[in-house]
Amino acid sequence: MAQIKSEAAYRAALKRIDELLPLTGDDVPDDDPNMLELDMLSDMVEEYEDIHYPIGRPELADVIRLRMYERSLTQAAVAKLLGISASRMSELMHGKMEPSYQLSRDLCLKLNIEPAVVLGV
């Protein structure tokens, strides 16, 4: 398959995708030329982005901060929700402690954080 080899080609591909999106949809057959071009360009852009704009694994503290923002919670409120002291919560948020099994479980269940993020995998 062809590859995008420069930032200029990447930007041109993104522009073309924006042009093609309105021309495709659920009612357009898979063998439509616009749909085929969109599919091909999307794959090429995805490959380029995986190499040049990789998305790293989120840090646990960052995900906790996101959940705090989403739920309008303070760090103290999260500590209470998790049943830990404010100082333990601070240590967790600054990466100075690893969560115990029970705390890991509570992070997953009470804050809806994926186990892989809690485990750092």
Across the chain, mean pLDDT equals 91
Is 86 or 23 the better-scoring residue by pLDDT? 86
Give the span between the Cα atoms of 11 and 33, in whole angstroms.
Answer: 21
Q: Indicate the pTM of the whole model.
A: 0.60
pLDDT above 90 covers a percentage of the chain that reads 75
Q: Above 90 in pLDDT, residue 27?
A: no
Average pLDDT over residues 3-7: 94
Domains of the chain plus CATH, in order, are: 7-52 (no CATH), 60-119 (1.10.260.40)
pLDDT-derived band at 25 (thresholds 50, 70, 90) equals confident
